[in-house]
Amino acid sequence: MITIVSGLPRSGTSVMMQMLVAGGLQALSDGERRADVDNPRGYLEWERIKQLPKDPALIAEAEGKVVKVISQLLLALPEGHEYRVIFMQRPLAEVMASQDEMLRRRGTYDPKVSVSAVEQAFRDHLFRVNTWLNSRPSVKVLRMPYHDLLQGAKASAEKIAQFLQQPLDIEAMVKQVDGRLYRQRKK
């Protein structure tokens, strides 16, 4: 089995990875993307996963581990594996606000980009991804609302352990959830 954490950018995938590692899973991560002001506890990403569309066989390296896969790359997951996907869900307004803030800090924010066009692109993308996820018998999905995680970390951790069918350290997972890092809230 391959455990995957996915979702839109800025949807809570890093905190989910941190929870799973604290709970006892081994992350497939290379440490290339370091912690920063936007994600002070780190990203837990694996740079090679970006090659998934060109090299689908590389996902085999994640067997028995947890790996973060951005939502657009889910469509490149090859048959022949059993996947458990924890898909983070966060309101688009918050995703957009968090993304914009990160881009401002990096100096790459473009105020000329149409917010409504980006939101519609995200909506269309989520529709395609969810349709694909629902059509694959080898893919089981737990959709995890970001707000549920923040408001009920223990219940969320228990739900995750049940979904993965693994004994996880629930208390260690709960300690990874820090409401102070919830900075871009719904408007």
- Could you report the per-residue pLDDT of 80-113, keeping only the tens digit for each? 999 999 999 998 888 777 665 655 566 666 666 6
Q: Would you state the pLDDT for residue 183?
A: 46
* Bigger pLDDT: 146 vs 99: 146
For residues 157-163, give the mean pLDDT. Answer: 98
Helix axes 153-164, 13-23, angle to 10 degrees: 70
Cα 1 to chain centroid distance, Å, stands at 18
pTM of the entire predicted model: 0.87
In the chain, the number of structural domains is: 1
On whether residue 182 sits in a domain, the answer given is no
- Say if 77 falls within a structural domain: yes
Q: Of residues 42 and 55, which shows the higher confidence score?
A: 55
Q: pLDDT tens digits, residue range 17-34? A: 999 999 999 999 987 766
Question: What range defines the domain where residue 17 resides?
Answer: 2-174
Q: Measure the CA dihedral 80/82/84/89, to 10°.
A: 30
Hunting for tokens 């089995």 — which residue is that? 1
Residue that has been written with the tokens 């590692």 in this structure: 21
- In angstroms, the CA 183 to CA 94 distance is 9
Residue 186 lies in a domain: no
pLDDT bracket for residue 126 (50, 70, 90): very high
**68 within a domain of the structure (yes/no):** yes
Provide the pLDDT for residue 44.
Answer: 84
- At residue 182, does pLDDT exceed 60? no
- Is residue 66 assigned to a domain? yes
Say if 181 falls within a structural domain.
no
The answer to whether residue 179 is domain-embedded is no
Average pLDDT in the 120-142 region? Answer: 94
Is residue 22, in this structure, part of any structural domain at all?
yes
Q: What's the pLDDT score for residue 109?
A: 60
CATH number, domain of 130, equals 3.40.50.300
